[in-house]
Every structure is written in structure tokens, then in C-alpha cells.
Amino acid sequence: MKILRSVSEVREELAGYRNKTVGLVPTMGYFHDGHLSLMRQARAECDVVVVSLFVNPTQFGVGEDYDKYPRDEKRDAELAGEVGVDYIFAPPVEEMYSEGFGTFVEPSQELSNKMCGVSRPGHFRGVATVVTKLLNIVQPDKAYFGQKDAQQLVIIKSIVRDLNIPVEIVGMPIVRERDGLAMSSRNTYLSKQERKQALALYETLCLGKKLIAQGSRDASALKKQLVANLSRKPGVEIDYLEIVRAEDLKPVERLGGKILLAGAIRVGDTRLIDNMILEV
């Protein structure tokens, strides 16, 4: 496995593989089993696997955790090598955003100005820009993203469609801890007590799944039940809890088809997200 630092290195290394299938796994590093599941899938489906490792400053807002976001390149490289990754692209910030950089990709406001986009203004512009850059740099046949970032996944699919980028976007299931907590690099911020409190969102999503299985179909009534349940959980501040159509994040009045239950909470100083896709 090679670690590449520059765009020119990536293009030079991949030039000989244009008759091969190239898979890209974009990440911000500090790998856990969720990241590794994406890499394993890419390894199973592609001839060449590239993992980007870049904590992207443009998707962090003022006062967010860019500076303290966990980083351990040596550990990440060892884990990636163990699952068969061919290349890690780990550029410095100035390689991705050179002096005078001023071009950004604006995602659909209909998709981005809701849910995570409300409390993190500008976040999805940063995501859209860096993902578009990575797709242009690597030019993969397939790119792999986790379902935990459900809104991000919908937005990336829309960008690829709207900008005619020739890549298949592959969404992969959420990987959870044994108790159900969705794996996240930010879980490392949690104290022992906060770790227990963080389960509140997953437990609330499970309640929603149960109520739907029992016949609940009124989206507004169900949302009120779930918000009330989450509000009773100690140590939890609700950012949002939404019930929308899974494919385009549009609101629903009566549940039917494929729906997304999604939420975000704060436990202490840590913001966590989770979701479930349900067929009704």
C-alpha cells in the first residue's frame, strides 16, 4: 500500500489502471469498523482501492470540532493495509485548497437546508465541494459511503446525477456497536456516562420502527411520540428528529413506501446522528 500526498501523485499512480475498476472510499480518518466495511466492499468489487484520508475544513462551522477531530494516520494506514487497500490519498490542506481557492459546489437547497443543514449551515457545501474534488482527482468507477450519513448520501447522489459525473455511488449499511450505537469517530469524545446516554437516539429510532410495525401511519403523530420519548432521556439535547421519504428527503404526511427516520442529538459537547430506513 502506498500513501500519496498530492493530486499529481494520484493521477500518475492511477494512470496505468484505466482499464481496471477503481473504487474510492472517501473518509476523514480515525477508522472504525464502519469505515473498514466500505473498504472491504470496495476490495470485493474493484481491482484498485483508493481511500482518501482528509479532515475537510470547509465542512466544519465556526466553533465546531475541526481542531480536535481525532487523527491517527499511522493507525489508519495499518488498518487499511490489513483489509487490502492499495492507496491512501492523504493530502495536506493546502493541496486541496490552494491559495486563492474560491470555487465551491452548492448542493440542492431542497436537500441541504433541512435536518443537519439547519444546525450546520454551510456544512453540505463543504461536503459537496470536497467530494466533487475527490471524484475528479481519482476518477473512480465506484465510490462508497455509509448510510449513517443518510442526508449526505442523498446529496452526493444528486450531485453525481446533476453534474453527470461518471461514477456509481454505493451506499453501505450502518455498522453498530453491540448495544446498537452507530459507529462514529466522534464516539471517542464520549465519557463513560455520556456513552450510555448516547444510546437514546438509537432506542428512539427502534421505538419508531416498533410503532410503525404496529400500524402507526400518521407521520406527525409518530414524530410527536418519538420526540416526547427522546425528550425524557437524561443528558440528551435534541437537534432534530425527522420522518421523510428516503430517496429525496421530502416530508410525508402518511407513511408509505421507503421512509427515513433520522435524528441528531447532543450529549455533552458531542453531536451524534443516526437513522433507519424502513419499508412501510
Residues 54 and 142 in one domain: yes
- What would the grid cell of residue 44 be? 470485493
What pLDDT is stored for residue 241 in this prediction?
Answer: 98
Q: Confirm whether 19 is domain-assigned.
A: yes
Residues 52 and 125 in one domain: yes
Residues 195 and 114 in one domain: no
Residue of 280, 191, 192, 277 whose CA lies nearest to 242: 277
Residues 214 and 264 in one domain: yes
Label residue 75 by pLDDT band (50, 70, 90): very high
% residues pLDDT > 90 (the chain): 99
Say yes or no to pLDDT of 98 above 90. Answer: yes
Residues 140 and 237 in one domain: no
Containing structural domain, residue 62: 2-172
- Give the CATH number for residue 252: 3.30.1300.10
pLDDT in tens, 140-186: 999 999 999 999 999 999 999 999 999 999 999 999 999 999 999 99
Residues 15 and 151 in one domain: yes
First-last CA distance in the chain:
44
What pLDDT is stored for residue 177 in this prediction?
Answer: 96
The conformational region for residue 241 under phi > 0 = left, psi -120 to 50 = alpha, else beta, is: beta
pLDDT in tens, 228-255: 999 999 999 999 999 999 999 999 999 9
Residues 60 and 89 in one domain: yes
At residue 224, φ and ψ (nearest 5 deg) are: -60, -40
Q: Confirm whether 210 is domain-assigned.
A: yes
Residues 194 and 162 in one domain: no
Look up 123 and say whether it is catalytic: no
Residues 52 and 110 in one domain: yes
Q: State the angle between helix axes of 199-213 and 219-231 in degrees (0 to 180), rounded to the nearest 10.
A: 150
Residues 131 and 20 in one domain: yes
Residues 10 and 74 in one domain: yes
Q: From the candidates 35, 133, 142, 148, which is the catalytic residue?
A: 35
How many independent structural domains does the chain possess? Answer: 2
Residues 45 and 162 in one domain: yes
Q: Confirm whether 177 is domain-assigned.
A: no
